[in-house]
Structure 1
Amino acid sequence: MTVALMWEARAAAGRGEDLLAWARGQALTPGPARRETFRAPQDRVLVITWWDAPYDAPLPELPEPDAELVTRVVHRWRFEAVTDG
């Protein structure tokens, strides 16, 4: 089964590049099968990781950044892949 973990945060005013650099610098051990990092308006950063694991498996996740780097708590979601057809 493939599980995708999504991690999304909004940077404090003027800290978008700092939050992006922080997220990109966070290592996950063991590493995921795939990892992508995105940015969006309002200094939002999204990280999606894909894992070959059961849905409820304990998996490493990005931590909460320091409070002065973000405007709110991090949003997290877990999804399982489904096949179309």
Structure 2
Amino acid sequence: MTTTAAMWEARAADGRAADLAAWVRGTALPALRGSAGLVRTELFGAPGDRVLLITWWAGERPVPVADPPAELLGRPVHRWSFTSEHVE
């Protein structure tokens, strides 16, 4: 079976990184829970007020993460999907 990692990355509006991360925890993640194929989620913070969510899926069709409210964003959300090539 294919494993797909879906990456969702956003830069928060100035000073709003904590609010953006809270939105992911309180809105985006609950919306994904129970989705068919969801294996794992991981939330990261990064310099530059960036918030990164990686979701792992069994199969090739991850459920997309919604866009947060515009006032939390410093720029549009970026999204990428990857399929697993090798695991050790």
**Same fold, TM exceeding 0.5?**
yes
**Match for residue 16 of structure 1?**
17
How far off is 1:83 after superposition?
A: 2.0
TM-score using structure 1 length: 0.88
Query: Counterparts of 2:40 and 2:70 in 1: how far apart (Å)?
Result: 28
Percentage identity across aligned positions?
Answer: 51
How many residues are treated as equivalent by the alignment? 82
For structure 1, the residue ranges without an aligned partner over 5 or more in a row are: none
C-alpha separation between the residues in 2 aligned to 1:83 and 1:7?
21
Q: Name the structure where helix makes up a greater proportion of residues.
A: 2
**Which structure 1 residue ranges, 4+ long, deviate > 6 Å from structure 2?**
none
State the Cα deviation string for residues 51-82 of structure 1 (Å, max 9, x = none).
0013xx2x322111111100111000000001
Task: Tell me the C-alpha RMSD between the 2 structures.
Answer: 1.7
Matched, 1:33 2:36: no
